A and B are shown apart, each in its own frame.
Chain A
Amino acid sequence: MNHHAIWSIYYFEMHRFLRTAFQSIATPVITTSLYFVVFGAAIGSRMSDVGGVSYGAFIVPGLIMLSLFSESINNGSFGIHIQKFTGTVYELLSAPVSAMELVVGFTGASATKSIMIGVVTLLTASLFVPLQVLHPWWMVAFLVLTSVSFSLFGFILGIWAKGWEQLSIIPMLVVTPLTFLGGAFYSIDMLPPTWRTITLFNPVVYLISGFRWSFYGTSDVGVEISLAMTLVFLGICLATVAWIFKTGYRLKN
């Protein structure tokens, strides 16, 4: 186990993040605040409570998840993609580092950033609406698992993408629609039955639902199912990463 390498990569990535800490933190804070102004104050005041929770409070877990998704994917993909882009990846490839160590270093750093941003988003939200967290440990668990899974997903994207366009297309074409249709702003009970069924094929529903449950104890689907789905997603990402390194896919000639 080359723990020096894991630590080096982690430190290096965190360092890169801290260099731009202000932008990194400011963006989600501003975005979240905007959501609260629009959905919480302007529209939320005219909405009825959802499952006994005020609309403004109801959307908080979904919003945090939204920023977790995008931050994790961005952070997870950027670190490795820029190295491929600039060619500095030669050093990673020639280093005595196993695939797992590489992944732990990169996604560890990416997930750390995402969790930090998730917490900042949560704190920002608490300025606008009264929050309660019924199951704090579960909340942390979902926060961490989601950050790790999506960082891994981002890492895969970063390796797969041949250019910056490709890098942004998946989040734009796939992830954003899935999150918006994933029950961040509504309970899926509000949907007509057909749409509800269709929605259940959206993995994001389970993540948001489970996360919201940890706040208010109410959920669209069972928390066990949410957890299971998160783990399945994590498993798929891990398997993909293992395959990438085994075959050298888009990394080596």
Chain B
Amino acid sequence: MLLIDCPHCGPRAEIEFRCGGEAHIARPASPEETSDAAWRDYLYLRRSPKGLHLERWNHIHGCQRWFNVARDTVSDEILAVYPMGSPPPDLGRT
């Protein structure tokens, strides 16, 4: 089980949180002009990388606020926690 450092409440057990999946996926700006392929990319294509993953979490059984996490998907180590809307921190790796 992960120990997640909520920016508002501090370190809490993973069971208090809900993972919201890959972060930094922008909804197409003008839906009417968006092609089927672009909708597919937005809705369904995911990186699922072996290594650094940027993802959203919600402290659903706590403050209920969203934030971003950078995590290594091989070791599961959490490398950084950063606010929604911010670009990912420079971790010196991809």
Please determine whether chains A and B interact with each other in the same assembly: no
Identify the B interface with A (CB < 8 A): none
